[in-house]
């Protein structure tokens, strides 16, 4: 018997458009012989399913159900494809936990934790994984650039502490650029992370739990034509060279896999996540950068590229995420 799946897209953040593209890719890839999929767009104005004729139906939030032609539709599983709030920060996860409906991402606590870059760094570091030296700033806290640079050395990254797709992120090389970068980041969030730049090669890698086992996907090296892998570089074809699998020597790759699995386990992740990291120039030391618990699934996104490089079928991969969530 076919399972009924709610595919959630949209959200409240600047990543709304990316989420719609991810959901379009997932929707066409989920095998229709196994699942009936209802794509539900979540905005602040409503949670809406629109059928093929253009008729719109609102979700009953009391039990997360749809009423269509006097039929009450309930869901076996929720596939969350919302980047940013409320799909990546634990809000929807907590809601579905209360309703006891399975979903495909990390649980509410891990989602909330990993949405905060500074807190994530603390937990990952406690597992013995290297993280860059950083300072966390709050909107109501007065800290001068001089004070920051007495603790951190340039260049630094300035980024919203909560959020994704590199929105509001700047690379600062000169002291006089720091204040402007902080103002820009505070437009996206009321907490800001100032983090020392690790000189080296930049990578990203999907990590997934299937059948209770943590698997590392092929690693991708990021070579951006821009100063760093920002929103434009991530979503503009041709701006970034993405090499999958990355050219990493076997011994270093073994260390990379250990650190990725250790980070995934310590953060108590579920489903598929994408972990960004650096290999430091000169030492090849692994430095954790951040984790994305609802990674992009557009046609140009990195997870579909890595799944293909693994030799897996993308439809079977999405099926496995659903089955793992319902297990």
Assess whether 264 and 181 both reside in one domain: no
Kindly indicate the confidence band of residue 166, based on its pLDDT and cuts at 50, 70 and 90.
low
For 103, half-sphere exposure in the C-beta direction (CA atoms, 13 angstrom radius) is 30
Q: What is the per-residue pLDDT across 146-163, written as a single tens digit (0 to 9) for each?
A: 999 999 999 999 999 886
Assess whether 120 and 173 both reside in one domain: no
Kindly indicate the confidence band of residue 210, based on its pLDDT and cuts at 50, 70 and 90.
confident
Q: Is residue 320 part of a domain?
A: no
CA pair distance 153, 277, nearest whole angstrom:
20
In the predicted model, what is the mean pLDDT of residues 309-319?
96
Eight-state DSSP code of residue 233: H
Q: Is residue 175 part of a domain?
A: yes
Kindly indicate the confidence band of residue 234, based on its pLDDT and cuts at 50, 70 and 90.
low
Contact 4, 75 (CB under 8 A): yes
- Domain end position, chosen among 175, 196, 217: 196
In the predicted model, what is the mean pLDDT of residues 238-260?
93
- Domain end position, chosen among 177, 196, 215: 196
Give the pLDDT score at 130.
Answer: 98
Q: What pairs with residue 58 in β-bridges?
A: 48
Give the pLDDT score at 288.
Answer: 98
Contact 25, 296 (CB under 8 A): no
Domain CATH code at residue 74:
3.40.50.20
Give the pLDDT score at 141.
Answer: 86
Give the pLDDT score at 236.
Answer: 57
Assess whether 31 and 173 both reside in one domain: no
Domain CATH code at residue 149:
3.30.1490.20
Domain CATH code at residue 255:
3.30.470.20
Q: What is the per-residue pLDDT across 17-39, written as a single tens digit (0 to 9) for each?
A: 999 999 999 999 999 999 999 99
Kindly indicate the confidence band of residue 232, based on its pLDDT and cuts at 50, 70 and 90.
low
Assess whether 41 and 82 both reside in one domain: yes
Assess whether 281 and 191 both reside in one domain: no
Q: How far is CA 144 from CA 171, 176, 182, 183, 254, in A?
A: 18, 11, 11, 12, 42
The two tokens of residue 214 are: 């943590």
- Is 238 a residue whose pLDDT tops 80? no
Contact 214, 231 (CB under 8 A): no
Assess whether 285 and 142 both reside in one domain: no
Q: Is residue 248 part of a domain?
A: yes
Give the pLDDT score at 212.
Answer: 84
Assess whether 142 and 249 both reside in one domain: no
Assess whether 160 and 262 both reside in one domain: no
- Is 188 a residue whose pLDDT tops 90? no
Q: Which residues constitute the domain of residue 36?
A: 3-104
Q: Is residue 310 part of a domain?
A: no
Average model confidence (pLDDT) across the chain: 93
Contact 276, 204 (CB under 8 A): yes
Q: Is residue 322 part of a domain?
A: no
Q: What is the per-residue pLDDT across 86-120, written as a single tens digit (0 to 9) for each?
A: 999 999 999 999 999 999 999 999 999 999 999 99
Give the pLDDT score at 224.
Answer: 77
Q: Is residue 323 part of a domain?
A: no
CA pair distance 85, 91, nearest whole angstrom:
8
Q: Is residue 14 part of a domain?
A: yes
Give the pLDDT score at 151.
Answer: 96
The two tokens of residue 195 are: 């983090």
Q: Is residue 226 part of a domain?
A: yes
What is the residue whose two structure tokens read 């760093």?
Answer: 228
In the predicted model, what is the mean pLDDT of residues 186-198?
92
In the predicted model, what is the mean pLDDT of residues 66-79?
96
Give the pLDDT score at 168.
Answer: 85
- Domain end position, chosen among 152, 168, 196: 196
Q: What is the per-residue pLDDT across 259-276, written as a single tens digit (0 to 9) for each?
A: 999 999 999 999 999 999
Assess whether 42 and 72 both reside in one domain: yes
Kindly indicate the confidence band of residue 61, based on its pLDDT and cuts at 50, 70 and 90.
very high
Residue percentage of the chain with pLDDT more than 70:
94
Higher pLDDT, 100 or 15: 100
Q: How far is CA 287 from CA 62, 200, 212, 214, 324, in A?
A: 44, 10, 26, 20, 29
Among candidate residues 86, 63, 74, the one with its CA nearest the CA of residue 8:
86
Assess whether 16 and 97 both reside in one domain: yes
- Phi and psi of 198, rounded to 5°? -100, 115
């Amino acid at each position: 018997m076919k399972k009924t799946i709610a595919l959630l897209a949209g959200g409240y953040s600047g990543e709304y458009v990316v989420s719609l593209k991810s959901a379009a890719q997932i929707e066409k890839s989920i095998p229709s012989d196994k699942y009936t999929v209802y794509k539900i767009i979540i905005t602040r104005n409503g949670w809406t399913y629109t059928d093929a004729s253009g008729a719109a139906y609102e979700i009953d939030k009391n039990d997360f159900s749809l009423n269509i032609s006097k039929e009450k539709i309930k869901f076996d599983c929720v596939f969350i494809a919302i980047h940013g709030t409320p799909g990546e920060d634990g809000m929807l996860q907590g809601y579905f936990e209360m309703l006891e409906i399975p979903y495909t991402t990390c649980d509410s606590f891990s989602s909330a934790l990993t949405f905060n870059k500074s807190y994530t760094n603390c937990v990952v570091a406690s597992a013995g994984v290297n993280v860059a030296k950083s300072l966390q700033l709050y909107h109501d806290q007065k800290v001068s650039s001089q004070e920051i640079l007495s603790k951190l050395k340039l260049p630094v990254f300035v980024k919203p502490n909560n959020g994704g797709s590199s929105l509001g992120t700047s690379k600062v090389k000169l002291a006089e650029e720091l204040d402007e970068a902080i103002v820009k980041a505070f437009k996206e969030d009321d907490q800001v992370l100032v983090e020392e730049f690790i000189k080296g090669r930049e990578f990203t890698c999907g990590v997934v739990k299937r059948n209770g086992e943590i698997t590392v996907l092929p690693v991708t090296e990021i070579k951006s034509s821009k100063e760093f892998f920002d929103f434009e570089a991530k979503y503009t074809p041709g701006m970034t060279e993405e090499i999958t699998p990355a050219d990493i020597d076997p011994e270093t790759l073994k260390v990379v896999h250990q650190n990725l699995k250790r980070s995934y386990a310590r953060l108590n992740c579920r489903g598929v996540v994408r972990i960004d990291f650096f290999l430091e120039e000169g030492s090849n030391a692994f430095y954790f950068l951040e984790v994305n618990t609802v990674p992009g699934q557009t046609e140009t996104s990195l997870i579909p590229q890595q799944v293909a490089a693994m030799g897996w079928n993308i439809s079977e991969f999405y099926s496995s995420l659903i089955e793992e969530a319902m297990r």
